[in-house]
Amino acid sequence: MRFHSPSIQYFHAVRRTGSIRAAARLLNVASSAVSRQILKLEQEVGSPLFERTARGLTLTTVGEMLARHVMNVLQDLDRFRSDVASLSGAWHGTISIACIESLTESVLPDLIASHRSRNRRVSFTTEVMGSSDVLEALRRGEADIGIAIALIHPPDLRQVALKRFRLGALVAREHPLARRKTVTLEQCLAFPIIQALPELSIYHLLQPLIAQRSETPEPAIQANSIDLMRELAARGVGVAFQTQLGIIRLSRDAQLVFLPLDNAGSPVWSDLGIYVRAERTLPAVTDSFLQELVRELGERERRENAAYAQVV
Amino acid sequence: MRFHSPSIQYFHAVRRTGSIRAAARLLNVASSAVSRQILKLEQEVGSPLFERTARGLTLTTVGEMLARHVMNVLQDLDRFRSDVASLSGAWHGTISIACIESLTESVLPDLIASHRSRNRRVSFTTEVMGSSDVLEALRRGEADIGIAIALIHPPDLRQVALKRFRLGALVAREHPLARRKTVTLEQCLAFPIIQALPELSIYHLLQPLIAQRSETPEPAIQANSIDLMRELAARGVGVAFQTQLGIIRLSRDAQLVFLPLDNAGSPVWSDLGIYVRAERTLPAVTDSFLQELVRELGERERRENAAYAQVV
DNA sequence: CAGGTTGCTGCCGTTTCGGCAACAGCTATA
DNA sequence: TATAGCTGTTGCCGAAACGGCAGCAACCTG
């Protein structure tokens, strides 16, 4: 099922690899063939699509426009293929998800396992990365569904849903703060803290609050792994900060205690956005999984916020 | 700039014409070439795309899926072309509008004239039709922007905006009702009425109200032209019913009087929806005109409803 | 300067595409 | 019922497009 011009696919490969010869290797054709297709394309568009450097090729403005079109075409072709296949029953395909680390502990494995138990034909590709990388992966067409901290609203992506979870401190059971119901940032800063590096979204959520204070605390540890921060907190090294979402099971094990954070009397929220490329229609199977994801996150948002409403 | 497989374009032509030979004539190629491309396409998809009858070809289910994909591809190609051309400055293109008759009296000519005075390069194609035909024209890709009475919300179209205007009675200046500020349906039915045929959306707005009454009135005249109904009302033949939107200038000429309709004490609304094909990104130029249209209609909605709020 | 990379271009065999003419199947009309 | 006109399909063949090979100049790297 390859009824689109080779030039389309060649252009796409060249754009991704940034090199004609690399694209040729990827496509298992001669580099001359790729080169000619690109030249023909540029002639038809009437404008150069790449800037040639000694190192390879870079997109021009027109090239980026064409890249957008080509991505729309190829993604919609994917959707068509998937929908046709699911019509004939013998479906097999892949749902590709890019998300931040908070989801890996419970939300995503639960959902995928549940979906797989109902439909073995659908396979999944999940990649964990930072929030801005999630959005970039969607733009590049490397992921179908993206879950990231919602800081700014990107215009080329569609925000399918926005769920807010409380940000809180994570301490070991023996920690002096562990008996409290909620904590303030000031109370936490009296102890060694495990700070997130700027590549984690938590950094950008907490930094404005910390910057308001006159004295900036010296962090005991800086890390870029949610999991590592969690394990460090469990060993009593210090106070970690996390979204409430990622630590459900751990707090059930009572190794760790999650303390919702209060700032000037009001909760600190972490907004989780679910994103999809705007100029795109998802395959029916992917869309139904997306609906499940939104529903599940909505359910957890409701449940967890209700639980802490009781506490407060 | 034709970098898509001929099979794509051939399929599109065959779908539109419903015949291979007609498509061949349209494309200026031999019918055998078209036939072969369709056969090749069916082989690649692995399923027949058309049902062959002696009269021509009809889409199968898979064929309709491919038609959707092909339309997405071609419309997005259009957008790409338009955006590239507008980048280089020398732009010329067409904005295609399908709308109901109510718009032709003032809204659309004003907007198009205003837009043309600012940008001569953009040309327009406007086609007047019934509400359901407007939606169908969008689905078939024959129009970029559609304006229709919003009765049901079609899932494959995106409702860009929804504006509500008052439905009212239209009578000559000498008509006994002409001195009233508002009228009820009962008051109108005491006189000969000019009734819309089912192909006009007004019929579907008024029919439920009329059906509630025990005695169904005998209409003096039935018509399917907004303009004709307006002229008849001006000649004192009877009471016509129209959306307030279409008759601004006429009521200024004081040939006709527009009387907002009240039903059981509350106004009768006519919802005007602006539609675009959902699986599509509009060219920048088309999109900017769409924004103007939405703003203009919003302005009229605000102004007219405010005017009649004073009256009531 | 040498060895690697890059994109580009004749040359040539293979594949694909399109046009012509003929075929079978169907419908409408006389 | 026969005929004329329409439909899509299929050999045949020339033309165009495509892809592979080898060699070119230009550039970066060590």
pLDDT in the model for residue B308:
61
Distance CA A259, CA A252 (A): 13
List alpha helices for A18-128, DSSP H.
Answer: 20-27, 31-45, 61-87, 107-118
Q: CB–CB of A201/A100 below 8 Å?
A: yes
**The domain B92-163+271-301: what is its CATH number?**
3.40.190.10
Would you call B101 helix, strand, or coil by DSSP? helix
| Token reading at B21 | 């030979």
pLDDT in the model for residue A135:
94
A87 touches chain B (CB under 8 A): yes
Distance CA A117, CA A111 (A): 10
Least confident of A140-154, A262-276, B88-102: B88-102
B83 touches chain A (CB under 8 A): yes
- Given this structure, which CATH class describes domain A91-163+271-311? alpha beta
Of A5, A79, A87, Cβ closest to residue B62: A87
Distance CA B17, CA B40 (A): 19
Fold of B164-269: D-Maltodextrin-Binding Protein; domain 2 (3.40.190)
Fold of A165-267: D-Maltodextrin-Binding Protein; domain 2 (3.40.190)
Q: At what angle do helices B61-87 and B284-311 cross, to 10 degrees?
A: 100
**DSSP conformation class of A175:** S
Query: pTM score > 0.75 for this model?
Result: yes
- For residues B117-140, give the mean pLDDT: 90
Q: Dump pLDDT digits (tens) for B276-310.
A: 999 999 999 999 999 999 999 999 888 877 766 65
Q: CB–CB of B310/B202 below 8 Å?
A: no
Is strand D within 7 Å of residue A61 (CB)?
no
Distance CA A107, CA A161 (A): 15
**Contact criterion met (CB < 8 Å) for B65 and A77:** no
Which residue of chain A is at minimal alpha-carbon distance from B79? A69
Domain parsing of chain B, residue ranges: 6-82, 92-163+271-301, 164-269
**pLDDT band for position A112 (cuts 50, 70, 90):** very high
- For residues B200-209, give the mean pLDDT: 84
In sequence order, what are the residues at sequence separation of 6 or more whose Cβ sits closer than 8 angstroms to the Cβ of residue B89? none
Q: CB–CB of B50/B60 below 8 Å?
A: yes
Cα–Cα distances in Å, from B70 out to A49, A73, B11, B77, B84? 24, 9, 8, 10, 21
- Do A91-163+271-311 and A165-267 have matching folds? yes
Residue A296 (CA) to nucleotide C11 (C1'), in angstroms, measures: 62
Q: CB–CB of A144/A97 below 8 Å?
A: yes
> What are the strands, taking DSSP E only, across A189-277?
193-196, 221-223, 239-243, 256-263, 266-267, 269-277
Q: How far apart, in Å, do the first and last CA atoms of chain A sit? A: 58
Which residue of chain B is at minimal alpha-carbon distance from A278? B281
Distance CA B214, CA B211 (A): 7
| Token reading at B279 | 């699986």
Q: Above 50 in pLDDT, residue A146?
A: yes
pLDDT in the model for residue B246:
61
**The domain B6-82: what is its CATH number?**
1.10.10.10
Chain B residues close to A8, C-beta within 8 Å: 3-4
**pLDDT, mean over chain A:** 87
Hey, what amino acid is at A76?
Answer: D
Distance CA A62, CA B83 (A): 9
Sign of the four-CA dihedral A27, A30, A34, A37? negative
Q: Dump pLDDT digits (tens) for B24-43.
A: 988 888 888 899 899 889 88
Q: At what angle do helices B61-87 and B6-17 cross, to 10 degrees?
A: 120
Place of tokens 């509008």: B97
What is the enclosing helix (H) or strand (E) of B74? helix B61-87
Distance CA B77, CA B162 (A): 29
Residue A57 (CA) to nucleotide C2 (C1'), in angstroms, measures: 25
Distance CA A306, CA A310 (A): 7
Q: Above 60 in pLDDT, residue A222?
A: yes
Is strand D within 7 Å of residue A164 (CB)?
no
Q: Dump pLDDT digits (tens) for A249-268.
A: 555 566 788 888 988 888 88
Strand pairing report for A269-277 and A157-172: antiparallel
Chain A residues close to B79, C-beta within 8 Å: 69
A69 touches chain B (CB under 8 A): yes
- Residue B157: name the closest of B69, B277, B51 by CA: B277
Distance CA A131, CA A115 (A): 25
B49 phi/psi in degrees, rounded to 5: -100, -25
A5 touches chain B (CB under 8 A): yes
**Contact criterion met (CB < 8 Å) for A69 and B77:** yes
Q: Above 50 in pLDDT, residue B264?
A: yes
- For residues B148-171, give the mean pLDDT: 91
**pLDDT band for position A309 (cuts 50, 70, 90):** low
Q: Above 80 in pLDDT, residue B213?
A: no
Residues 36-65 of A with CB under 7 A from strand C: 36, 38-39, 52, 54-57
